[in-house]
């Protein structure tokens, strides 16, 4: 028996079957009721991570997305409830949404796009109109277009990357510096105050002087401070030239991931080599972010995906989010055939489910939790050798009684190119169990997220 036996080595608990007084499950069916914005926190965030996406949070050379999935598990188990996740990308909203469809990414609380010229909040990505109005000072897109036409070396990027407050080009590296110098002077003579950023060894972006990832972060921190919610710690993460500004903001920790590009390393050597708050990680992409969390002692830095024996994790209190992450990691390993097909595992899973507990399947079929546990026997190893992964997003617990929690989250499954997602709500109970035992699952309700339903509902478990 592998050490993973202890993952669900709980005492059998036949708790009282009465349900706490909680809001109707129907209230939690829609994604609109999963809050994800700065207003979600009543006080200052424990940690705010501000991360670039391409080749920082997302490793395009990692087909299994393992470092990203490791970060996802760490964040949802330990940070989501009390912290803020901010994605800061050079991508436009259209290309950002495309990336979300391609990769197993979490939902951020704040999204900064188009090289810091657009800020949006929450699941609905509500734009910050105040930020846009601020950037419009001394900016005229028409003049920028006129002046850049004088440089045949500049090649316009795709139409999706041309934004109201950003004009983007491609240019060869050996010509970039001369063009930037000349273009900056000509635009100044036309009365504009702009910023020209070169990154990735090919991309040149022109935006208002007040724009950029660093200024967007400074604006966000000022806004949080004004609301009395300045994060206890902020960690900025990047890999290329357009991330350099992030590391210039006072009192912000920074990590350049191991695969950081030459232009960022050169900037660091010239401007921040003596700053102990900025490090060059030895790990790539999201793994480097996890490394920085540990290096700066910002909180837990061991992802649940890296733990083979859950008994090694000594929890002092009940942590509903950790229980949810742990449950689905076990389920993923079960279907991938990474743990043995043992009746002991199934009996331990039954032990964490209340005998009278119910599960409402996304198809609307209602059965007992124990019935669904029994069906797991037939799906052991059915995803072996396949690109099958499970991750949970926006795990947000609400205590609804002295010993009960209502936990809402999105549960995602990826198998090859097919992705499914359902909005999930569970009731967890600590009645008659210890922290070492783990919480008891009493009820589960799932409904398909629009556009992400499984083609065959019969293949969907939990």
For 32-36, what is the mean pLDDT?
A: 43
For residue 285, the model assigns a pLDDT of: 98
Q: What is the pLDDT of residues 400-415, one digit of tens each?
A: 999 999 999 999 999 9
Does the pLDDT of residue 211 top 70, yes or no? yes
Judge whether 411 and 392 are in contact, CB under 8 Å: yes
For residue 16, the model assigns a pLDDT of: 33
Q: State the DSSP code for 222.
A: H
The CA distance from 446 to 31, in Å, is 12
For 49-58, what is the mean pLDDT?
A: 98
SS3 label, residue 225: helix
Neighbours of 22 (CB within 10 A): 17
Buried b (16+ CB within 10 A) or exposed e, 248-272: bbeebbbbbbebbbebbeebbeeeb
**Residue for token pair 């316009």:** 156
Secondary structure (DSSP) of 394-457:
EEEEEEEETTEEEEEEEEEEEETTEEEEEEEEEEEE-TT--TTT-PEEEEEEEEEPTT---S-G
The residue among 333, 320, 336 whose CA lies nearest residue 409 is 320
Buried b (16+ CB within 10 A) or exposed e, 66-97: ebbbbbbbbbbbbbbbbbbbbbbbbbbbebbe
Residues in a beta bridge with 455 = none
Residues 6 or more apart from 225 whose CB is under 8 A from it?
Answer: none
For residue 38, the model assigns a pLDDT of: 65
Q: Tokens standing for 406?
A: 């209502």
Residues in a beta bridge with 238 = 256
Does the pLDDT of residue 28 top 50, yes or no? no
247-254 own/partner pairs: CB under 8 Å, 24+ apart: 247/214, 247/272, 247/275, 247/278, 248/214, 248/272, 249/214, 249/217, 249/218, 249/221, 252/50, 252/217, 252/221, 252/277, 253/277, 253/278, 253/292, 253/296, 253/298, 254/278, 254/279
For 169-191, what is the mean pLDDT?
A: 95
Secondary structure (DSSP) of 349-360:
HHHTEEEEEEEE
For residue 311, the model assigns a pLDDT of: 60
Angle, CA of 104, 107 and 113, to the nearest 5°: 100
Residues 6 or more apart from 151 whose CB is under 8 A from it?
Answer: 179, 182, 183
Bridge-based pairing of strands 388-401 and 404-415 is: antiparallel
**Residue for token pair 């009721």:** 33
Does the pLDDT of residue 274 top 80, yes or no? yes
Computed over every residue of the chain, the mean pLDDT equals: 90
The residue among 447, 414, 415, 434 whose CA lies nearest residue 316 is 434
Q: What is the pLDDT of residues 320-337, one digit of tens each?
A: 999 999 999 999 999 999
Q: Which helix (H) or strand (E) holds 198?
A: strand 194-199
Q: What is the pLDDT of residues 278-320, one digit of tens each?
A: 999 999 999 999 999 999 999 999 999 999 876 666 788 999 9
The residue among 173, 72, 52 whose CA lies nearest residue 113 is 52
pLDDT above 90 covers a percentage of the chain that reads: 81
Segment of 24-28, 410-414, 416-420, 452-456 carrying the highest mean pLDDT: 410-414
The CA distance from 77 to 103, in Å, is 20
For 258-267, what is the mean pLDDT?
A: 95
Q: What is the pLDDT of residues 63-102, one digit of tens each?
A: 999 999 999 999 999 999 999 999 999 999 999 999 999 9
For residue 192, the model assigns a pLDDT of: 95
SS3 label, residue 380: coil
The CA distance from 446 to 359, in Å, is 8
The CA distance from 57 to 68, in Å, is 6
Does the pLDDT of residue 203 top 50, yes or no? yes
For 349-370, what is the mean pLDDT?
A: 92
Secondary structure (DSSP) of 89-135:
-SS-HHHHHHHHHHS-PPPPSEEEETTTTEEEETTTTEE-HHHHHHH
Does the pLDDT of residue 182 top 50, yes or no? yes
For residue 19, the model assigns a pLDDT of: 37
Buried b (16+ CB within 10 A) or exposed e, 223-237: bbeeeebbbebbbbb
Judge whether 242 and 256 are in contact, CB under 8 Å: no
The CA distance from 339 to 134, in Å, is 55
Angle, CA of 112, 115 and 120, to the nearest 5°: 20
For residue 315, the model assigns a pLDDT of: 80
For residue 310, the model assigns a pLDDT of: 63
């Amino acid at each position: 028996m592998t050490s993973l036996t202890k993952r669900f080595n709980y005492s059998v608990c036949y708790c009282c079957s009465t349900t706490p007084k909680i809001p109707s499950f129907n209230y939690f069916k829609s994604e609109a009721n999963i809050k994800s914005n700065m207003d979600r926190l009543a006080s200052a965030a424990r940690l705010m991570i501000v991360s670039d996406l391409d080749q920082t949070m997302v490793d395009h050379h990692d087909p299994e997305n393992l470092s990203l999935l490791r970060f996802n598990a760490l964040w949802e188990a330990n940070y989501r409830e009390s912290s803020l996740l901010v994605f800061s990308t050079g991508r436009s909203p259209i290309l950002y949404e495309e990336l979300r469809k391609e990769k197993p990414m979490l939902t951020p609380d704040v999204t900064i796009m188009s090289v810091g010229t657009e800020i949006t909040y929450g699941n609905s990505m509500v734009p910050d109109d105040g930020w846009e109005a601020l950037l419009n000072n001394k900016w005229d897109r028409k003049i920028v277009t006129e002046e850049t036409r004088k440089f045949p070396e500049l090649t316009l990027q795709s139409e999706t990357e041309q934004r109201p407050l950003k004009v983007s080009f491609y240019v060869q590296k050996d010509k970039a510096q001369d063009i930037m110098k000349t273009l900056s002077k000509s635009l100044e003579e036309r009365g504009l105050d702009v910023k020209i950023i070169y990154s990735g060894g090919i991309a040149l972006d022109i935006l208002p002087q007040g724009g950029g990832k660093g200024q967007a972060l400074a604006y966000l921190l000022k806004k949080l401070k004004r609301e009395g919610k300045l994060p206890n710690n902020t960690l900025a993460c990047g890999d290329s030239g357009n991330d350099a500004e992030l590391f210039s903001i006072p009192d912000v920790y920074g990590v350049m991931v191991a695969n950081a590009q030459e232009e960022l390393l050169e900037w660091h050597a010239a401007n921040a080599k003596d700053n102990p708050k900025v490090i060059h990680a030895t790990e790539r992409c999201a793994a480097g972010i996890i490394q920085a969390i540990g290096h700066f002692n910002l909180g837990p830095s061991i992802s649940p995906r890296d733990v083979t024996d859950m008994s090694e994790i000594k929890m002092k209190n009940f942590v509903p989010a950790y229980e949810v992450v742990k449950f689905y990691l076990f389920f993923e390993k079960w279907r991938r055939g990474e743990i043995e097909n043992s009746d002991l595992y199934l009996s331990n899973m039954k032990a964490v489910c209340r005998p009278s507990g119910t599960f409402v399947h996304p198809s609307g079929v209602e059965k007992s939790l124990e019935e669904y546990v029994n069906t797991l026997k037939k799906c052991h190893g059915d995803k072996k050798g396949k690109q099958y992964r499970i991750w949970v997003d926006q795990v947000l617990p609400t205590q609804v009684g002295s010993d009960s929690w209502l936990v809402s989250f999105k549960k995602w499954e990826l198998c090859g190119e097919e992705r499914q997602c359902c909005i999930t709500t569970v009731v967890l109970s600590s009645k008659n169990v210890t922290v070492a035992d783990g919480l008891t699952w009493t009820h589960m309700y799932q409904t398909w997220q629009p556009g992400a339903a499984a083609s065959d509902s019969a293949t969907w478990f939990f």
